[in-house]
Amino acid sequence: MIYLKHPVVRISLLDANDGNPVKKSRSDRNAESEQQHMTAKGFDRVLPILTQPFDLSQCLVEGKTLKCEWQEPIVFNENIEYFLGENHVIMFELMDFPISKDSFWQHIAWSFIRPNQGSNGCIKLERTLRLQLYKYRKCNWVPYKSTLYVSISGIPLPESSYVQLRPTMPWEKEKGEDNFDFKEESENVGKESKRTSMYDQSMERARLGSRWIGASGMWCRVPNSVMHKFDSDYRGGYALSFSGLGTYLACAVGGRQYYNIRIFNVANGILTKTLKGHHEIVYDIVWSEHDPLILTASADTTAKVWSFESESVIATCHHPSYVYCARFCPGPDGSKGGTEKEKSIQSTSYVVTGCFDKNIRLWDVRRESLDADGSAQVLQIIAGHSSHVNALHVHPVKSQMVSGDATGRLVVWSLVNHSFDVVRDITEPEMSSAVNCIRMDSAGKKIFVLARDNSLRLIDTDRWAITQRFAGVTCSTQSIKFDLSPDGKYLMSGSEDGQIMVWNVDTGEQDTSLASHNMHRVQGVCTDVAWNPTDRIIAACCFSRRHPILVYRYEKEADAHASEEMPDDELREVLEGKFNGLAEAFAKLDQSGDGKLQFEEFRDGVRQMELDLTEAQILRIFKTAAGSDDEISVDEFVRRYAPAGTLEAIKTANAVKRAKQKRATMGGVQSTPKTAALLSLFDD
């Protein structure tokens, strides 16, 4: 009997003559993986590569056939002609994890393919191939009643490649090295720019930080002007976070074969640093309070602590599966210390992570506690969730942590002495969908939760009940995140329809100010948003090809200008000769069919006319036409501002158009003499 938990497939390129891995086409080329403690760069053979582990709990259904789907591209850094060479055999081995470090892999089944054999002397590339699986036997080939589906294809050499030495077990070291001599253009720009001294940078951070925190007492405002459009990467950005003092913005971006962290200077918009080390999507990213450290969680089964100054990995936390969330955790005695430096060290000495295996882990990431290769040690494994842990939030002042899983369950934990005692187990009947994101206000009295049922909720910690619901967000399948403004007045969230949503926390209503209308709808899924902790600035990212990272700021002048009404004469001059086209565009955008438009529809209609109008001018036109209402009537708009007789001419033209369409649909149907006489009028 075979017991499977997390099977993997190992792919090897073997020499049919001796059964050993084939030699590299270039002996000095890096390998793609590190196994059995071999020095990959000094090894002259093509090393095997493992897939990610597959969780069988996803497909175990009684009475149904077991089907594992990896859907994972495995890239060998070899020329396709060499890869398909004579006497080469591609070996596929289905295995499961060993029980301990000292045990061997559990070998389950194997299969192979000769790439240089086929109907035309070579296998068909980019086609799905069905391979027979065999049992492991010393002599005879005993087939399983199972098959393996694979496809082989060549890919273009990437413009920039970062080859990872991928670990296959938690105790193995992960490291990487550039395989090609390249430098990204954006990095060149950053390096060629003038760099200030460390003292100047610290003074700039202190100056920016004092602008908002406790200095002027300003309330947050919804930003109304585009500040920057940062370049993301081939796949766009997935997660982002402002530094503790708001000086920098870190965004996890996806390239063709790598996933990096790009850090931008918020003030001047320059790409400052690029952190390289993850080889799968980065789900979560967070800064330490005083900026020197960055924590990331990734699908490559690791959470990493980075040094901002040196752009290097300080500690790596290895997991058995995907890591969805990570947070810095105060020490057993909290973030205590006599100086700010001591408090900073205490608040970043430990890390908590949420994993696909349903467990929360506490890690010691102090330098003196790390292994020689930088691997962190697990201090505790906290069980309690019945599904994978998607979200964490740590409140250092209250010494509490809130976790959420894929069943909608929330658990509040005590961090005092790292006891992780359950303070409250929240299982609301209406919350049965996966939790995406959790936030708490500064006082720890309010818990905000975004779940995959298109709803964002507020839980009062005094009554432990849902007291507010924020509707309008589209979140049912994707890992969408939200953020709370520094003053606790606004909530801002991404959405699957690409919209950036803003709500007033006190009323629960969606913000209808002109500023929120001024935000662009991203072309794809808006996965994450962040509010600058020290200024009236927000950022949003979209996991869509080459979509820029959007940064907005609040400008008092733009807000005052947009709130003014435009004189009627000026409006008529701007739209002169465009009313026929506008009426047609508005009719197509009027989804309700009542002849009225809200701001988004009005703005889209004006943009279709390709008028040379700024966003502020469109806002002023809408406010002039709508007055105190939140919508305008198309007929009233044309009647009020178009030349006399324009509305009647538009309606007549529409009536004629509808009549011609009706006649065309009648086809050969015989009409009455009266109808024929009326329709013949349109032939002239």
Check which CATH number belongs to the domain holding 581 and give it.
Answer: 1.10.238.10
Domain residue limits at 621: 565-643
In a domain, 615, yes or no: yes
Helix or strand or coil: residue 25?
Answer: coil
* Phi (first) and psi of residue 320, to 5 degrees: -80, -10
Helix or strand or coil: residue 233?
Answer: coil
What confidence score (pLDDT) does residue 577 get? 66
CB 468 within 8 A of CB 460: no
pLDDT in tens, 480-511: 999 999 888 899 999 998 888 899 898 888 88
In a domain, 626, yes or no: yes
User: Which are the contacts of 338, defined by CB distance < 8 A and separation ≥ 6?
Assistant: none
Radius of gyration of the chain measured on its C-alpha atoms: 30
pLDDT band at residue 234 under the 50/70/90 scheme? confident
Nearest to 536 by CA among 215, 287, 222, 209: 222
Q: Which amino acid is at 297?
A: A
Nearest to 369 by CA among 317, 307, 298: 317
Average pLDDT over residues 85-93: 87
Q: Is the pLDDT of residue 219 over 80?
A: no
In a domain, 583, yes or no: yes
The Cα–Cα gap between 9 and 53 comes to 8
Nearest to 413 by CA among 426, 404, 400, 425: 400
pLDDT band at residue 653 under the 50/70/90 scheme? confident
**Does 4 or 491 have the greater pLDDT score?**
491
Sign of the torsion angle spanned by Cα atoms 24, 25, 27, 28: negative
In a domain, 253, yes or no: no
pLDDT in tens, 177-204: 433 333 344 444 444 443 334 434 444 4
In a domain, 613, yes or no: yes
The Cα–Cα gap between 663 and 75 comes to 60
Residue 533 half-sphere exposure toward CB, CA atoms < 13 A: 23
pLDDT in tens, 503-562: 989 888 888 664 555 666 777 889 999 999 888 899 999 888 888 999 998 876 655 545
User: Which are the contacts of 136, defined by CB distance < 8 A and separation ≥ 6?
Assistant: 107, 108, 109, 110
In a domain, 89, yes or no: no
**Does 26 or 416 have the greater pLDDT score?**
416
User: Which are the contacts of 295, defined by CB distance < 8 A and separation ≥ 6?
Assistant: 284, 285, 286, 287, 288, 303, 304, 305, 306, 326, 327, 328, 351
The Cα–Cα gap between 142 and 474 comes to 51
Would you mind telling me the total number of residues written for the chain in this entry? 684
Q: Which helix (H) or strand (E) holds 207?
A: helix 198-209
Report how far Cα 147 is from the mean position of its chain's Cα atoms: 34
Average pLDDT over residues 661-679: 60
Nearest to 494 by CA among 567, 561, 568, 549: 549
Average pLDDT over residues 63-90: 79
What confidence score (pLDDT) does residue 166 get? 47
Enter the pTM of the model.
0.55
pLDDT band at residue 447 under the 50/70/90 scheme? very high
The Cα–Cα gap between 146 and 79 comes to 31
Average pLDDT over residues 646-667: 72
Range scoring the smallest mean pLDDT among 101-105, 128-132, 288-292? 101-105
Q: Is the pLDDT of residue 240 over 80?
A: yes
The tokens describing 321, both together, are 């599966």
The Cα–Cα gap between 13 and 100 comes to 27
In a domain, 229, yes or no: no
Average pLDDT over residues 84-88: 81
pLDDT in tens, 328-353: 998 887 655 555 556 666 678 899 99
Q: To which residue do tokens 């938690």 refer? A: 170
pLDDT in tens, 380-399: 999 989 999 999 999 988 89
The Cα–Cα gap between 29 and 7 comes to 30
Sign of the torsion angle spanned by Cα atoms 296, 160, 189, 230: negative
CB 398 within 8 A of CB 442: no
* Phi (first) and psi of residue 202, to 5 degrees: -65, -35
Q: Is the pLDDT of residue 214 over 50?
A: no
Q: What dihedral do alpha carbons 191, 192, 194, 198 form, nearest 10°?
A: 20
**Does 606 or 663 have the greater pLDDT score?**
606
Percent pLDDT > 70 in the chain is 70
Q: To which residue do tokens 């994450």 refer? A: 528
**SS3 labels along 70-110:** CCCCCCCCCCHHHHCCCCEEEEEEEEECCCCCCCCCEEEEE
The tokens describing 482, both together, are 């939200």
pLDDT in tens, 593-637: 677 777 777 777 777 766 666 666 677 777 777 766 667 787 777
pLDDT band at residue 83 under the 50/70/90 scheme? confident
What confidence score (pLDDT) does residue 181 get? 36
Q: Is the pLDDT of residue 296 over 90?
A: yes
pLDDT in tens, 112-144: 988 776 555 567 677 788 899 998 876 678 888
Q: Is the pLDDT of residue 368 over 50?
A: yes
What confidence score (pLDDT) does residue 210 get? 37
Range scoring the smallest mean pLDDT among 3-7, 209-213, 408-412, 611-615? 209-213
Query: For the chain, how many structural domains are there in total?
Result: 1
Mean pLDDT of the chain: 78
